[in-house]
Copies of this chain bind each other. A is one copy, B any other.
Amino acid sequence: MTYGVDDELTTFVLLKSVDVRVAKNGKKYLAIIFQDESGEISGKYWDASDEDIAQFVAGQVVQLHGKRETYQGSPQIKIYHLRLATDTEPNDPKLYVEHSPMKRDDMVNEISQTLFEITEPSWNRIIRFLLKEKQEAFFDFPAAKTNHHAFEGGLAYHTISILRLAHSVVKQYPALNGPLLYAGAILHDLGKTSELSGPVSTTYTNEGNLLGHISIVDGDIVRACVQLKIDPDDESVILLRHMVLSHHGELDYGSPVAPELMEAQVLHDLDEMDASIMMLSAALGKTEPGHFTERLFAMDGRRFFRPTRLPEQVPEKGQ
């Protein structure tokens, strides 16, 4: 919602969250966070009637008529009028959430291509089994509630980015086993389809809080083995489970075992690198040249600098 200060606007937006509160004059009001593809903004809907409270709930699309203002350094909307979008209007919530820079079909294709490189039969079958089961969510869900790839399709897009880096690395270091690295990469965050609630208004599920996405997908691999009649005690299955169990890199970050396979260490490194590049690109994109970003908590609270001027890049060979 890139309007200037004091711009008036009439537009369709998603109600991302709605809080009912009581004002000092004793009347109720709604504290709302609006969302469209470009980002979020908050506003207060004063003197809310019981009917207003009933209809303006999170997840609805509304037509908003208001003015963009600044309160304590942050933008907010002064609301003039609000009504629900009708069925003849663009009222599908998915239209208003950020989404992956890559089309869904292209992502499906690229993942499918990689499956052919997973030449260990048990890994291949387990992955096909679980991807089929969770296909809908895998290509819909974000990769995280906040921070990195927190957009629709972010989970698949993050997986594909890692797979691309993985191919470069395997090419450069022949000691690395490609099939093991790719298999781990595809499965590593698949448990997020159960850990998170979905692409819109994402929260953690109870299962997600109590088990975590690492143990969820680890359990899924065991379940797949039983259903596919693969021996879960075979070394190949244990290697695959180790890849997903260890991908957070340290016990401290929730992996029950630290990487003990070279490919597990590399998977962890690529996972971290892709997540930080995405987070930093996004944060720097919102920062003026010559200035620092806000503190980024997922990067130890560091602030990053956007240089005033950077040199031209020589075109990549072969492009």
Contacts and interface: CB of A to CB of B under 8 A. Distances in A.
A21 B72 contact: yes
Contact of A172 (B19, B165, B220, B292): B165
A22 B69 contact: yes
A241 B254 contact: no
A177 B284 contact: no
Interface stretch (A53-61, A138-146, A300-308): A300-308
Nearest to A227: B226
B22 A70 contact: yes
Copies of the chain in the assembly: 6
A63 interface: no
A95 interface: no
A173 to B, nearest CB: 5
A50 interface: no
Contact of A177 (B176, B215, B311): B311
Contact of A254 (B123, B222, B256, B259): B256
Nearest to A6: B22
Contacts of A214: 256
Interface residues of A, number: 102
A102 interface: no
Contact of A277 (B116, B165, B266, B273): B266
A125 B39 CA distance: 43
A313 interface: yes
A180 B311 contact: yes
A277 B173 contact: yes
A134 interface: no
Contacts of A211: 238, 241-242, 245, 256-257
Interface of A: 19-22, 26, 69-73, 78, 116-120, 123, 161, 164-165, 167-173, 175-180, 206-207, 209-212, 214-215, 218-223, 225-227, 232-233, 235-236, 238-239, 241-242, 245, 250-262, 265-266, 269-270, 272-273, 276-277, 280-281, 284-285, 290, 292, 299-300, 302-305, 307-314, 316, 319
28 contacts: A19-B73, A21-B70, A22-B69, A117-B313, A118-B311, A168-B168, A171-B316, A173-B281, A175-B284, A178-B313, A178-B314, A179-B310, A179-B314, A180-B307, A206-B290, A209-B292, A211-B245, A212-B257, A214-B256, A215-B215, A219-B221, A223-B223, A235-B308, A258-B300, A262-B281, A262-B284, A262-B304, A269-B276
Given A177-B307, A179-B310, 6 more contacts: A168-B169, A173-B277, A177-B310, A210-B241, A219-B221, A262-B277
